[in-house]
Amino acid sequence: MRFLSWNVNGLRACVEKGFLDQFHSLDADFFSLQETKMQPGQLTLDLPGYEQFWYSAEKKGYSGTAVFTKHKPLSVRCGVGVEELDHEGRLITLEYENFYLLTCYTPNAQDGLKRIDFRMRWEDALREYMKQLDAVKPVIYCGDLNVAHEEIDLKNPKTNRGNAGFSDEERGKFSELLAAGFTDTWRFQHPDAAEYSWWSYRFHAREKNVGWRIDYFVVSDRLRDRIRETKIHQEIFGSDHCPVELVIDLSAPIQNLP
Task: Indicate if 105 belongs to the active site.
Answer: yes
Q: Give the active site residue among 144, 184, 215, 240.
A: 144
User: What span, in angstroms and rounded, lies between the C-alpha atoms of 43 and 52?
Assistant: 12
Task: Indicate if 117 belongs to the active site.
Answer: no
Residue 157, Cβ density class (10 Å: 0-12 exposed, 13-18 middle, ≥19 buried): middle
Q: Give the active site residue among 55, 96, 105, 216.
A: 105
Q: In what order do the strands lie in the sheet with 139-144?
A: 75-78, 91-95, 100-105, 139-144, 215-220, 182-184
Return the HEC string of 94-154: EECCCCEEEEEECCCCCHHHCCHHHHHHHHHHHHHHHHHHHCCCCEEEEEECCCCCCHHHE
Question: Which residues are tagged catalytic?
Answer: 105, 144
